[in-house]
Amino acid sequence: MNKLLEKVKAGLKKAKFDNVDLYEWRSSIVLTGRVNSWDEKIQAGYIAANKGYKGVVNDIKVVGAKTDEMAKPDIYDNSLEGEQFDVVIIGGGITGCSIARELSRYNITIALIEKEEDLAKHASGRNDGMIHPGIADKPSSKKAHYNIRGNRAYGKICEELGVDFQRPGSFILFNSPISELLLPILMVRAEQNGVDGYKFFTRRKVKEMIPYVTEKQFGGFFLPSAGVLSPYKLTVAMAENAVQNGVKILLNTVLLGFEMEKGHIAKIKTNRGNITAGVVVNAAGIWADTVADYATDRFFSLHGRKGVDAILDKKTGKYQPAIMAMPDLLSFKGSHTKGGGLITTPEGNLLIGPTANEVPTREDYSTEPNDIDELMKHLELNTKLKRTDIITYFAGIRACTYEEDFIIEPSSYVDNLVHAAGIQSPGLASAPAIAHDISKMVCTILKKTKEVKNKENFNPKRITFPELNKLSLEDRAKIIKENPFYGRIVCRCEQISEGEIKNTLHSPIPVLSLDGLKRRFRIGAGRCQGGFCTPRVMEIMSEELNIKLTDIKKKGAGSEILFNETKENVSYSDKKLKTMLE
Ligand SMILES: Cc1cc2nc3c(=O)[nH]c(=O)nc-3n(C[C@H](O)[C@H](O)[C@H](O)COP(=O)(O)OP(=O)(O)OC[C@H]3O[C@@H](n4cnc5c(N)ncnc54)[C@H](O)[C@@H]3O)c2cc1C
């Protein structure tokens, strides 16, 4: 037995994994056998990781556990049969959409397939929206490299796409005078990673900047390059600009498998027919290992790490002008999370979180009372915040490899496959840089068979329409004069008008659900959570899209809002409404 295998075997034996077996496959290590709990499976994976293998494939079965099925659209037709593209991207999260936009600079045909009825429905719409400064990861990691480059790219990209982006900066607060002794280590890490503009703030200076900061702080390390944006708005904006530059976004389209011919993807099998591509990009988030498996190239396994966040009322934003966390730096070594904290959003809400817990399910976004309790420690960082400021909660799932790093590379065994996998945090912050490098890899493959040139008419600017809540009173008056629908406020919490809803419903990517509208401009994301505006929004959707009210869903299949009339012979004063229901 070779030395590497020996090392992993010894590690597993020491941890008493007697029912776990292992073998080498290509340059990876595969674990098989049985354990009694999910935590044990994860622990075994980590024992095998970073021992010199390229990846860990963890096929250990957990006694009594159910298999975790991917949610798929219920549409099956042949509408895409025979379509050919130079590039097909799997996955409509921030990774896939950024790659689509980046590739749309070239004279090639591109399709992005997304299994859901909208973009950003998984990790990319369920995160903290923080453009991390790039200090958290080891200097040798891909995560650190792409984070720093991505962070620097965001100012220009957000300007081009018309997406709000701010750099409030972030504090790592010290929770004891002893923690302050770690300052030189933080400085060396920041220097090695190339973090921009970092500095130490004394206790007094922190208080000057954040007047309501806890008295329990002992100064902090300030990272001014930390930014915030709306992750779902950004994902949609990337995709809209890609569409404006010729990309096809195919929603409700799931990759079901590949037809392989001698290390080449010959056919891409979907629920809407078989298509072909010169190059396939695997940007499938938590399912990227399944996609790799379809291509017989599964050299890594992904495991889900759930993060729960609480959203606080908009009135709290003014109390917290910068992002802030107080991790226990002395016990931080070996942790797989940045620890969470208080994040100021561009809209003025605060986020508290996220938590980080290993979970056996890949798409279960439920939240539990103990998640919420875990978040409360962050609330204490600011003396103005109260539990009653919390509006709602959400959860997301990070796609983690056992090596805890991104996989950004062309496949070593399939000549037309490129992986953008294991994109856990800081995947949002890194997206522009990942997209840049993946698009270069794609072009290198394509150039073997065709000429790839920059498109002369590529337009980096997304076409946008005015957002009422960002305008001065004079500008509002002007817009309302031009388009009276802007004068009718539908969402009172977020100040969104009928004009904006109508414009959004006719934007380049179809909006097919209430949550789809929310992802575009936060309608229903305020204090009342859609309690007041939903009926009117549904009426507008029904009228504009010419669909029945009963066809409108909250978030795709199985989330119907109205089924039928509750009473017979109801006399509607508004005949139109009755028609919409029928
Ligand atoms: C709670 C939480 C907080 C976070 N906070 C931050 C943060 O502040 N800053 C930061 O930089 N990062 C953060 N992250 C990480 C960040 O959210 C992810 O790195 C990023 O969103 C990953 O994007 P993605 O496009 O790779 O994956 P996803 O967003 O998951 O997209 C993958 C897409 O592929 C689709 N798909 C999968 N399989 C198929 C198939 N077979 N056919 C068709 N489509 C398929 C899925 O439906 C999905 O839409 C956080 C993550 C979590 C969970």
| Domain coordinates in residue numbering, the chain | 3-62, 84-123+232-301+404-446, 170-224+303-400, 469-581
For atom 50 of ligand 1, the residue with the nearest CA is: 127
For atom 13 of ligand 1, the residue with the nearest CA is: 425
Nearest C-alpha neighbor of 342 from the set 379, 374, 306: 379
Q: What is the Cα–Cα distance from 51 to 35, expressed in whole angstroms?
A: 21
135 or 570, which is more confident?
Answer: 135
CATH 3.30.9.10 corresponds to the domain 170-224+303-400: yes
> Using alpha carbons only, what angle is made at residue 166 by residues 114 and 526, rounded to the nearest 5 degrees?
65
Ligand 1 center to 118 CA (angstroms):
13
Specify which of 68-72, 405-409, 573-577 reaches the highest per-range mean pLDDT: 405-409
For atom 3 of ligand 1, the residue with the nearest CA is: 127
Residues that are catalytic? 132
In this structure, the chain runs to a length of 582
Architecture of domain 84-123+232-301+404-446: 3-Layer(bba) Sandwich (3.50)
Local structure of 208: helix, strand or coil: helix
Q: What is the Cα–Cα distance from 69 to 89, expressed in whole angstroms?
A: 21
Ligand 1 center to 147 CA (angstroms):
15
Residue percentage of the chain with pLDDT more than 70: 96
| Mean pLDDT of the 276-300 span | 98
For atom 9 of ligand 1, the residue with the nearest CA is: 130
Architecture of domain 3-62: 2-Layer Sandwich (3.30)
Ligand 1 center to 124 CA (angstroms):
4
Tell me the per-residue pLDDT of 201-241, one tens digit each, with 9 for 90 and over.
999 999 999 999 999 999 999 999 999 999 999 999 999 99
pLDDT-derived band at 524 (thresholds 50, 70, 90) equals confident
Any ligand 1 atom below 6 A from CB of 150: no
Residue pair 277/88 in contact (Cβ under 8 Å)? The answer is yes
pLDDT-derived band at 339 (thresholds 50, 70, 90) equals confident
Any ligand 1 atom below 6 A from CB of 423: yes
| 343 Cα nearest atom in ligand 1 | 8
Any ligand 1 atom below 6 A from CB of 230: no
Instruction: Name the β-bridge partners of 398.
Output: 305
- Give the tokens for residue 24: 């080498």
Within its chain, how far is the Cα of 472 from the centroid? 32
Mutate to test the pocket of ligand 1, among 114, 282, 367 (most ligand atoms within 8 A of CB): 114
| Mean pLDDT of the 241-250 span | 98
Nearest C-alpha neighbor of 398 from the set 369, 362, 372: 362
Residue type, position 88, single letter: V
Nearest C-alpha neighbor of 168 from the set 236, 223, 127: 223
- Tokens 């809407």, residue located: 272
Q: What is the Cα–Cα distance from 145 to 203, expressed in whole angstroms?
A: 31
Share the mean pLDDT of the chain: 94
Output the pLDDT for position 48. 98
Output the pLDDT for position 498. 95
Q: What is the Cα–Cα distance from 421 to 579, expressed in whole angstroms?
A: 47
Nearest C-alpha neighbor of 89 from the set 421, 511, 433: 421
Instruction: Concatenate the DSSP letters of all residues of 27-59 into one string.
Output: TEEEEEEEESSHHHHHHHHHHHTTSS-S-EEE-
| 430 Cα nearest atom in ligand 1 | 11
Residue pair 235/169 in contact (Cβ under 8 Å)? The answer is no
| 395 Cα nearest atom in ligand 1 | 1
Ligand 1 center to 265 CA (angstroms):
24
For atom 37 of ligand 1, the residue with the nearest CA is: 284
Any ligand 1 atom below 6 A from CB of 133: no
Any ligand 1 atom below 6 A from CB of 580: no
Ligand 1 center to 51 CA (angstroms):
27
For atom 25 of ligand 1, the residue with the nearest CA is: 93
For atom 21 of ligand 1, the residue with the nearest CA is: 124
DSSP state of 12: H
DSSP state of 553: B
For atom 19 of ligand 1, the residue with the nearest CA is: 427
Asked if pLDDT for residue 568 goes beyond 70, the answer is no
Output the pLDDT for position 50. 94
Any ligand 1 atom below 6 A from CB of 114: yes
| 91 Cα nearest atom in ligand 1 | 34
End-to-end CA distance of the chain: 71
SS3 content of the chain, % helix, strand, coil (to 5): 35, 20, 45
Ligand 1 center to 538 CA (angstroms):
28
The answer to whether the Cα torsion of 174, 178, 181, 182 is positive or negative is negative
Tell me the per-residue pLDDT of 437-486, one tens digit each, with 9 for 90 and over.
999 999 999 999 999 999 999 999 999 999 999 999 999 999 999 999 99
Which residues are CB-contacts of 230 (< 8 A; sequence separation ≥ 6)? 129, 163, 164, 345, 346, 347, 522
pLDDT-derived band at 532 (thresholds 50, 70, 90) equals confident
Any ligand 1 atom below 6 A from CB of 424: yes
Any ligand 1 atom below 6 A from CB of 96: yes
Residue percentage of the chain with pLDDT more than 90: 86
| 95 Cα nearest atom in ligand 1 | 25
- Give the tokens for residue 418: 């490129």
Any ligand 1 atom below 6 A from CB of 254: yes
Ligand 1 center to 122 CA (angstroms):
5
Burial (CB count <10 Å: 0-12, 13-18, 19+), residue 109: middle
Nearest C-alpha neighbor of 435 from the set 235, 175, 187, 178: 235
For atom 41 of ligand 1, the residue with the nearest CA is: 255
Ligand 1 center to 174 CA (angstroms):
31
| Mean pLDDT of the 556-561 span | 86
